[in-house]
Amino acid sequence: MTAPQAALPAQRRLSRGLFGALVAYLLLLPFPPLLLFGPLAGILAVSRPATVREWLWLGLAALVAGLALAAAPSAMTQEVSLAFAAMFTGAFVALLVWQRGPVLRQAALAAILAALAVGVGGAILGISWAGLVGAFRDQLQLSLAAVMDEAALPAEQAAAARDVVDLIARIYPGLAVLGAMVGGTLAAAVAHRIAGRPATPAPGRFREFRFNDHLIWGALATFGVFMLPLPSPWGEVLANAMVVWSGLYLARGLAVAADIMAPWPVVPRVALFLSAVLLLRYALGVILLAGVADTWIDIRRALRPSPSGGSES
């Protein structure tokens, strides 16, 4: 073994949890793959790949990102989505290399900067909020119509599906910001399993996920203003901001649940997961409340036994 090879740290394999998160992101969530593979390619590139494995992963990430760019139809919605993904990728990698702060914070900042840049650019080009949402709605309705033609859904289910599509179109900007934050964090986690010398900080374990408790006042202020009768498009903009806040506190609540269930056997965890899927609406409400309550209670610390076995003072 040569000296440079010996100096490289041992690379780790993708854990089952991380692999499952990647599959869920790509197959179950409505986010462009460019929000994951763009940051992954960027982080691997600035980490100066030196092994075959690193180059293979870099080539794969660049190939998928390139195919996503090439295969996108020339529609306004796709152009806006790709512009947002490209701006987010550049801002996220630059922030990670420049400041090396917490990955989620850098992803959130990059997503907000990209959203503002796309919004300002769209306004300069004459793209209104209503026009953008309408374009997303038309595209989703066309996709839904193709599915319903094949599935032959009953009239009630078809109407419910159209209502869901309309809701997704109205909150898609907020979902895109959340998707960028999740995709960037996953990309950083994968890069730290692949790169021998990652140039960016590693994200922490999901079970330990939290953020500044004082942000709750920003969420409450956004919610308070959102409840006011605001003119268009400010009501819709604040609705998307509430989507982002809700996603953050849902993630915090899920982290609390993951930490609590970590010592449990497999069977109870699977049973609870299946129950949550069947009662999804109520489960999401409980998880959201847990994420908000963790701001004041610190549930994980409160339920964690002290090293001496007694109660913590």
pLDDT for the residue 145 = 75
Backbone φ and ψ of 270, nearest 5°: -65, -40
On the question of pLDDT at 306 being above 70, the answer is no
Residue from 305, 272, 308, 302 nearest 287 by CA: 272
On the question of pLDDT at 157 being above 80, the answer is no
d(CA 313, CA 309): 12
Residue from 36, 185, 173 nearest 108 by CA: 185
pLDDT for the residue 311 = 39
pLDDT for the residue 269 = 85
Question: Which residues, 6 or more positions from 28, have their beta carbon under 8 angstroms from its beta carbon?
Answer: none
**Burial tier of 249 (Cβ tally within 10 Å: 0-12, 13-18, 19+):** buried
d(CA 232, CA 171): 14
On the question of pLDDT at 4 being above 70, the answer is no
246: three-class secondary structure by DSSP: helix
pLDDT for the residue 294 = 92
pLDDT for the residue 74 = 66
**Burial tier of 277 (Cβ tally within 10 Å: 0-12, 13-18, 19+):** exposed
On the question of pLDDT at 279 being above 90, the answer is no
pLDDT for the residue 19 = 78
pLDDT for the residue 217 = 94
∠ Cα 124 83 24 (to 5°):
140
Q: Which two tokens stand for residue 55?
A: 């180059």
On the question of pLDDT at 274 being above 90, the answer is no
Greatest mean pLDDT among 78-87, 160-169, 225-234, 248-257: 248-257
Mean pLDDT of 218-243: 90
Number of C-beta neighbours around residue 232 at 10 A = 10
On the question of pLDDT at 54 being above 60, the answer is yes
Mean pLDDT of 249-253: 93
* Mean pLDDT over each residue of the chain, to the nearest integer: 83
Cβ atoms 106, 99 nearer than 8 A: yes
Backbone φ and ψ of 15, nearest 5°: -70, 160
- Least confident piece of the model among 71-80, 188-197, 204-213, 292-301: 71-80
Residue from 69, 81, 161 nearest 127 by CA: 81
Give the tens place of pLDDT for each residue, 86-143: 899 999 999 988 877 788 889 999 999 999 999 888 888 888 888 888 888 887 787 7
Alpha helices in the chain (DSSP H): 3-7, 16-27, 34-46, 52-71, 76-99, 103-124, 129-151, 155-194, 215-226, 234-261, 266-278, 280-297, 299-303
Backbone φ and ψ of 99, nearest 5°: -105, -25
Residue from 70, 99, 246 nearest 171 by CA: 246
pTM (2 decimals)? Answer: 0.84
